[in-house]
Amino acid sequence: MTGGLTGKVESLEMANAPEVVKAPGMVPDDQKFEPRSKGISTARKKKPKELAVITECCTGCAGSPACVEYCPVEDCMFWVPDEDNPPFGRIQIDPIQCIGCKKCLSKGPDGCFLDGCPWDAIVMVDIAEVEKEVGPMAY
């Protein structure tokens, strides 16, 4: 017998599950192009001490950026096309969605190499410095 009580319990749990609302970012979704980071979509629970910031060294890795694959937050990292030089572009980070996990970086503690950006185009910036530029940020 398939479904049975187990199936009824699962469908009841799904019906009573709270609706998951995607965390809003600073950048509107219609300005975020593929490739985009995939992962958790809930709002961050606390304000991070540091945020990832993309420098002018970003090349976009010819449309296949390594950093985006490692970001665990949905739509935090996204492609921004270079309108003057298509098909080129670069990656941007939505500061409201960044959790400061450093998975997008290529350098870890003591100079060891990680899997993130091969061009070292991502730096971690203290949250106070970011807020000077964009204003106070909520969690």
What was the pLDDT predicted at 134?
A: 82
Number of Cβ within 10 Å of residue 79's Cβ equals 17
Residue 83 Cα distances to 5, 26, 34, 57, angstroms: 56, 21, 15, 18
What was the pLDDT predicted at 66?
A: 86
Q: What's the predicted TM-score (pTM) here?
A: 0.74
In the predicted model, residues of the chain with pLDDT beneath 50 are 1-2, 5-18, 20
The CA distance from 87 to 60, in Å, is 10
Coil, helix or strand at residue 67: helix
What was the pLDDT predicted at 20?
A: 46
Pairing of strands 77-81, 89-93: antiparallel
What was the pLDDT predicted at 8?
A: 43
Q: Give the distance, in angstroms, between the CA of residue 102 and the centroid of all CA atoms in the same chain.
A: 11
Number of Cβ within 10 Å of residue 17's Cβ equals 8
